[in-house]
Amino acid sequence: MYLKSIFLFCVTVKKVHFQYQQMFKQLTFFVVGFFLWANTQAQTFSLLDILTGKSELVDHILANQADFEVQLIRGKDQSVSTFTQQLSNDLDRYYYPASTVKLPVAILALEKLNELGIPRLSSNSEMRTEKARSVQKQRITDSTSVNGLPSIAHDIKKVFLFSENDAYNRLFEFLGADYINTKLGEKGIRNSRIIHRVGVSGFSLEENRFLNPIGFYQNDSLLYHQAADYSKFESNFQPSFQQKGKGYLAGGKLVSLPMDFSQKNYIPLVALHGILQRVLFPENFQPSQRFNLTSEDYQLLYNSMATYPSESRNPKVDFPDGYVKFFLYGGNEKEIPKHIRIFNKVGDAYGYLTDVAYIVDLKNNVEFLLSGVIHVNENQIYNDNIYEYEKTGLPFFKAVGEIIYNYELERQKEVIPDLSKFRALFSDY
């Protein structure tokens, strides 16, 4: 409607005498700019409009956004690099990203392999992680792999299939904080602070700087050896509200002080959203903003993200299909229809739930990007494992996913999405 109005306006004005052509140009620029601005403003508020009045829980949480530290970002159609809607009380407010940091680390592990350019070295090469310090852990075998050997490709599968911490830690040790944060910055992904392993004890901030030596092999023949290293990365960005709550448990005892998150991982939700966009639709970004990945890398990532536990054979796992699918399925759906595919990464820790997802319905040509954070810690005590994940957080994600999905299912689309590259991954559709 806007474009038609602009066109009719321009045709009428252009009929005036030559001496008014300069005025015509200036006025046209003004009108086009005004309509684009007006359209942008309308988009900014439409996410709240879509969500309101569909669920009592969602309405309650949106009415108390600050208390729940809610952030939501939605992408529409496949023009996702240029269209987003955001709902947040503070985009620079600290939240703990938990396992969502595994998304950029998995991608960058593939990029580093490509940069090394060593013949026969690939993501499927046997990866032996050695140890150089007492706190470090060695890994020579992997019982979850069909051949019993660890590899970057297998770690990536485990990262997305059931969010294994050890798999992430091995990839982190391969990269280190210097590489991770520098590479993200070069691609325009700012303010990241990925600086430590997850789910392990004994690693202080300083110990997390020390990286294990790693060897890659093919039939016991060494392809590449990476010596033990030390990361010097220091973050210059400090988000707001890094002191959280009124207490935390340490050594089984309550410390009645806010918990300090200033030395923990951080990456803005909008950055995670942008990383997922770059992987799914690299063509929408400038070459300098893309990841250096091969077609085989993309296929590995897509399959790892969107394959369900019931479909996986290597590794074979016993989790419900919805285990790491918060939006639409609330993290516990036993079986998900196979025409629904969710390319995503979730995180949960310290009362924070996060999901960065691209949801695709291959049967009904529905697709949308949706990223979100919610904080559920009523007693404001950390490390006590008393968080309202099941009561509030996961039902919120499930409801928001359902509302947006139903909206997209019924919405009259200006452009029919091309889902062919995703259908090719799942031949039944």
User: Tens digit of pLDDT for each residue in 372-388?
Assistant: 999 999 999 999 999 99
Per-residue pLDDT, 402: 98
Give the pLDDT band of residue 19 (cuts 50, 70, 90).
Answer: very low
Specify the residue for token string 């009380």: 89
326: nearest Cα among 318, 313, 336: 336
Per-residue pLDDT at 414 exceeds 90: no
CA–CA separation, 317 vs 320, rounded Å?
9
Residues contacting 335, CB < 8 A, separation 6+:
310, 320, 321
Per-residue pLDDT at 15 exceeds 60: no
Per-residue pLDDT at 4 exceeds 60: no
Segments of 14-125 assigned E as strands: 71-76, 84-88
Per-residue pLDDT at 185 exceeds 70: yes
At residue 128, φ and ψ (nearest 5 deg) are: -105, 115
62: nearest Cα among 74, 76, 50: 50
Does residue 315 have a cis bond before it (omega within 30 degrees)? yes
Mean pLDDT, the chain, rounded, equals 89
CA–CA separation, 167 vs 178, rounded Å?
19
Give the pLDDT band of residue 413 (cuts 50, 70, 90).
Answer: confident
Tell me how crowded residue 302 is: count the other CB atoms within 10 A of its CB. 21
Full-prediction pTM beyond 0.85?
yes
Per-residue pLDDT at 407 exceeds 60: yes
Q: Average the pLDDT over 169-196 and give the result.
A: 97
117, 234, 278 from 182: Cα distances, Å: 20, 11, 17
Per-residue pLDDT at 214 exceeds 80: yes
Q: Average the pLDDT over 46-60 and give the result.
A: 94
Per-residue pLDDT, 90: 65
- Pairing assessment for the beta strands 247-250 and 381-382 based on DSSP bridges: parallel
Give the pLDDT band of residue 47 (cuts 50, 70, 90).
Answer: confident
Q: List, for residues 141-161, the tens digit of each pLDDT value.
A: 999 999 999 999 999 999 999
At residue 44, φ and ψ (nearest 5 deg) are: -60, -35
Per-residue pLDDT at 307 exceeds 90: yes
Residues contacting 115, CB < 8 A, separation 6+:
292
Give the pLDDT band of residue 43 (cuts 50, 70, 90).
Answer: very low
Per-residue pLDDT, 416: 86
Per-residue pLDDT, 415: 80
Tell me if 279 sits within 8 A of 133, measured CB to CB.
Answer: no
Per-residue pLDDT at 74 exceeds 70: yes
- Give me the percent of the chain exceeding a pLDDT of 70: 86
Per-residue pLDDT, 88: 66
The amino acid that residue 331 corresponds to is G
Per-residue pLDDT at 12 exceeds 90: no
Per-residue pLDDT at 227 exceeds 90: yes
CA–CA separation, 383 vs 377, rounded Å?
10
Q: Average the pLDDT over 335-343 and give the result.
A: 97
Per-residue pLDDT, 427: 72
Tokens of 114: 């490509």
Secondary structure letter of residue 148 according to DSSP? S
80, 173, 304 from 161: Cα distances, Å: 25, 20, 6
* Secondary structure element (H or E) that encloses residue 179, with its range: helix 165-186
Tell me if 130 sits within 8 A of 227, measured CB to CB.
Answer: no
CA–CA separation, 168 vs 109, rounded Å?
10
Per-residue pLDDT, 379: 97
- Environment class of 33 (CB within 10 Å of its CB; exposed 0-12, middle 13-18, buried 19+): exposed
- Give me the percent of the chain exceeding a pLDDT of 90: 80
162 CA to centre of own chain? 15
Give the pLDDT band of residue 32 (cuts 50, 70, 90).
Answer: very low
Per-residue pLDDT, 76: 56
155 CA to centre of own chain? 17
- Environment class of 30 (CB within 10 Å of its CB; exposed 0-12, middle 13-18, buried 19+): exposed
- Environment class of 206 (CB within 10 Å of its CB; exposed 0-12, middle 13-18, buried 19+): exposed
**Topology classification of domain 47-413:** Beta-lactamase (3.40.710)
Q: Average the pLDDT over 182-198 and give the result.
A: 96
Angle at which helices 102-116 and 295-306 pack, to 10 degrees? 160
Give the pLDDT band of residue 80 (cuts 50, 70, 90).
Answer: very low
102 CA to centre of own chain? 8
Residues contacting 102, CB < 8 A, separation 6+:
159, 160, 163, 167, 168, 171, 345
Does residue 287 have a cis bond before it (omega within 30 degrees)? no
- Environment class of 313 (CB within 10 Å of its CB; exposed 0-12, middle 13-18, buried 19+): exposed
- Measured at the CA of 142, the angle between CA 136 and CA 146, to 5 degrees, comes to 165
